[in-house]
Chain A
């Protein structure tokens, strides 16, 4: 049955997208929470842009950038990597759309870490990266995990950007959200309904865990 393959692909792509966005997401969250530099508001705005822009527009921007003749696409093409209309495009769309949720939640968690712990670690000889890895990250962990869950849930439902840059190729780039649209469009209502039910189930579990984790981090602070 196709539905299971689509489900598996969607969950795997969303999980991979979450992993991909963690390093840049945490770095940006830390910069926004602790950095004192010009252009902070600009970075914050840029990162959050996909939250408010029509996802299709974000998708078109990505398509322009990563198309074989686009600036990023040309670089990747030279390395033999093709992105658009492959599974990599699905992951890319999901990562870009999920990033704002991860950054915003993680940033809140990092801001709540008492600076005295970080200062104490610094006076004990820990350089900034060590302070971040051994003090800030563990203390902000509930919020970071919660943010990652939110981003994962968002990635699972990604439609607009995905359809622009990855299309709806059965067995290659078709995700749950895109599949629902394709099935409904071609009159396969029963197949679409199955995907809807699966989506709802997964989203429910993901959101529930995200809320549980973020509320726990709030209670701790």
Chain B
């Protein structure tokens, strides 16, 4: 169970989100500028809300009234940002192992097999294609044994067909690891394929919450996605 109660202001933009998420994969859906990335940043601890609370299971990551605000490195929240941000001065293997803690699952072999990156491990980051980067970034986040995984529209800039190739891997993460995932997208097809629950964000507020079909229908009725 992930309990989010985040209030955050940035210039004229105000984010105000209150949701409880129990699904394995929750899609955070909505137009650009809805506050999706800001919300993920707040969950990961890269941005501090003005008030509210953030909890993953029994662990409170942030609680304004209780004065709790764990730094990102103590949150155990894996975060694959829009640009994969692979460390350019390390091999793929060192990237993937960067966040591994002693004596913990999952194993490198298992993750490499699941995300099909075994042949890439000894390459340089610069030699990877966009899709490969995305899978390596996913593997790196998974290897840090997160208690929650945040994916911010991996490769938003890449064409839709290529982007959708990541979906089977997301399904594997969903089915093989017991890590809840919050996945930001504005592609209805992606929502339908992988999400169990959808939160629709607009202008910093939750405008709809429910199962994927209903949410997509709602967005359709409102007009084309940007």
Contacts and interface: CB of A to CB of B under 8 A. Distances in A.
Interface in B61-80: 71-79
B169 interface: no
B87 A117 contact: yes
A126 B73 CA distance: 5
A122 interface: yes
Contacts of A127: 71, 73
Contact of A124 (B71, B83, B88, B99): B99
B77 A123 contact: yes
Contact of A138 (B46, B75, B76, B89): B89
Given A119-B46, A139-B89, A126 B83 contact: no
A139 B89 CA distance: 7
A114 B87 CA distance: 10
Interface in A106-131: 114, 116-117, 119-128
Interface residues of B, number: 24
Nearest to B77: A123
Nearest to A122: B72
B13 interface: no
Contact of A125 (B76, B83, B85, B89): B76
B71 A122 contact: yes
Contacts of B76: 125
A81 B99 CA distance: 45
Contacts, number: 60
Contacts of B216: none
B206 interface: no
A135 interface: yes
A139 B77 CA distance: 24
Given A119-B72, A135-B87, A125 B99 contact: yes
Contacts of A116: 81, 83, 85
Contacts of A135: 87
A123 B78 CA distance: 6
B83 A123 contact: no
Interface string A128-148: 100000110011000000000
B52 to A, nearest CB: 20
Contacts of B144: 123-125
Interface of B: 44-46, 71-79, 81, 83, 85, 87-89, 98-99, 101, 140-141, 144
Interface of A: 114, 116-117, 119-128, 134-135, 138-139
16 contacts: A116-B81, A116-B83, A119-B72, A119-B85, A120-B79, A120-B81, A120-B85, A122-B73, A123-B44, A123-B45, A123-B99, A124-B78, A124-B140, A125-B74, A127-B71, A139-B89
